[in-house]
Structure 1
Amino acid sequence: MPAFDLTSLRHLPWLRPRRHCQLCDEPTDHPAHNICTACEAELPWLGAHCQCCALPLPVPGMICGACQNKPPSFSRVEAPWRYAFPVDNLITRFKHQAQWPHGHLLAELLSEHLRHAFDEGLPRPQALLPVPLARRRQRQRGFNQAQMLADWLGSSLDLPVRHDWLLRHLDTPAQQGLDAATRKRNLRQAFSLKQPAQVAGAHLALVDDVLTTGATAGMLAQLLRRAGALRVDVYCLARTPRPGDT
């Protein structure tokens, strides 16, 4: 009597492990992610936004007034969502409560967004650079969420991640809730490049969780451009609207 092949049972649908949506906990048949189609559709997708800094705008295909008056050092921000419920809640739980599966899910969806953008003509960078976290804050948190996002994106998109190119020497005050001018003052002299020669002639992408005023991304992009980078983009999970905008 021939031996029974247990591997054949893997193809039986009722024996496959069932995925559950991380938002509603209902079973999902999504082929790649732990999110159901209903919850994915209800995420706060960015929609019309500034073609440079991704600020939410009422009309698509425009550049916001701030970027027209003073173009930032980065070329383009790519973000799938507005910083609103439930994405804001998932980011907070990932970032401040070490609930890494939420960050991993958002990184997987961001990688899909970026693959689509590359197919539509967005140039692929040569490397990903996570925004460095202040040492004290990283000791308290135990990890750098931007570095984890960059690692997940790099693996999914087959892009190298340069963890040590950007250095942060100063533990600046927390940036949350501060206006753009105060953020810029806090960030002066906070960052440096470990080996500037590696940057010359490169197209690079900064990775972070949320873009608010763009002060940190702008400071890092300026640092990279002064070292000879040809282009710097920013990849993040969410973009905050202007205060008072919905």
Structure 2
Amino acid sequence: MSCQPRYEGQVYICLKNIQICLLCDEPAEAEVPICDACEAELPWLGDHCQTCALPLSAAGLTCGECQLEPPAFEQVVVPWLYGFPVDSLITRFKHNAKWPFGHLLADVLGQYLQHCFDEGLPRPDVLVPVPLASKRLRQRGFNQAAMLGRWLSKQLDLPFEEQVLRRIHDTNAQQDLDAKARKRNLRHAFALAPDADVKGRHFALIDDVLTTGATAQALARLLRDAGAARVDVYCLARTPKPGN
């Protein structure tokens, strides 16, 4: 007689480290659970604005908006366009609490960031997540940006400080607003923690998706006004300009 539960699926094999691709269920040879074929088919960003990562038709350019009104952040570092299947994975992670998908995306983002560091991107002093509105946090139960930040902190051996930035006013959801409405919506929405150590430090804001950049701009301006030396933005995906 056996008291062990009956389980027909594959179990984790410690010595061989066999993993199954989360996208196609085929064996994954890499350290992260995604096979080479699926990774190659992800919507990699390609040519983009050197500041805000807006998709562009040629490499090494800065978009018109960043030239006319340079943002408070120095650079957006992002591997993917917000397209299938990354958009679906982010949605399932963010709205359905499918954390393995978020962890997978964070692992690949971490590899991408390490490559950028090796190519000369300055390493930040600290990672900070975009804060979530308290009402949305109660509904969702977790801040997806904070979870991404914790995973990246461990993978990249970078400090993570979750309480530097606070959202002091709940705002309407940003998804259905245009760029001007997003800026108005975020006015006075954020504040620094009273004991935040900001002056002279290089911050990297962590978020899942960058759309108009209004949230990143508001937080970067807050940090820069408090004396931050530099603010970058690390996120999973970048949306194209509406209509493109």
Normalising by structure 2, we get a TM-score of: 0.92
Give the equivalent residue in structure 2 for 1:72. Answer: 71
1:197/1:227 contact within 8 Å kept: no
The whole-number CA distance in structure 2 between the counterparts of 1:128 and 1:100 is 20
Give 1:25 deviation, angstroms: 1.1
In the alignment, structure 1 residue 129 sits paired with structure 2 residue 136:
no
**Equivalent position of 1:158 in the other structure:** 157
Alignment size in residue pairs: 231
Cα deviation for residue 17 of structure 1 reads: 5.4
Counterpart CA distance in 1 for 2:227 and 2:63 is 27
Residue identity opposite 2:174 in structure 1: Q
C-alpha separation in 2, matches of 1:29 and 1:117: 23
Unaligned runs of 5+ in 1: 1-12
Tell me the equivalent position of 2:8.
none
Q: Which runs of 4+ in 1 moved over 6 A?
A: none
1: distance between equivalents of 2:164 and 2:181?
Answer: 26
Give the residue type in structure 2 aligned to 1:199. V
Label 1:16 to 1:178 Cα distance change in 2 as closer, same or farther (>3 A): same
User: In structure 1, what is the equivalent of residue 237 of structure 2?
Assistant: 238
Equivalent in the alignment of 1:4: none
The answer for unaligned runs of 5 or more in structure 2 is: 1-12
| Cα shift readout 1:32-53 (whole Å, capped 9, x = no counterpart) | 1100100000000001000000
Cα offset, 1:218, TM superposition: 0.2
User: Aligned-pair RMSD on alpha carbons?
Assistant: 1.2
How far does residue 18 in structure 1 lie from its aligned partner after superposition? 3.0
Aligned to 1:5: none
CA distance in 1, matches of 2:138, 2:115: 36
Displacement of 1:27 in angstroms is 1.7
Shift of 1:19: 1.3
Amino acid at match of 1:21: C
* Distance in 1 (alpha carbons) for counterparts of 2:42 and 2:68: 32
Output aligned runs, 1:147-226, within 5 Å. 147-195=146-194, 198-226=197-225
**Aligned residue number for residue 3 of structure 1:** none
In the alignment, the residues of structure 2 paired with residue 96 and residue 187 of structure 1 have an alpha-carbon distance, to the nearest angstrom, of: 22
CA distance in 2 between counterparts of 1:196 and 1:70 reads 31
1:91 aligned to 2:90?
yes
Partner AA of 1:119 in structure 2: D
CA contact (8 A) 1:128 1:159 kept: yes
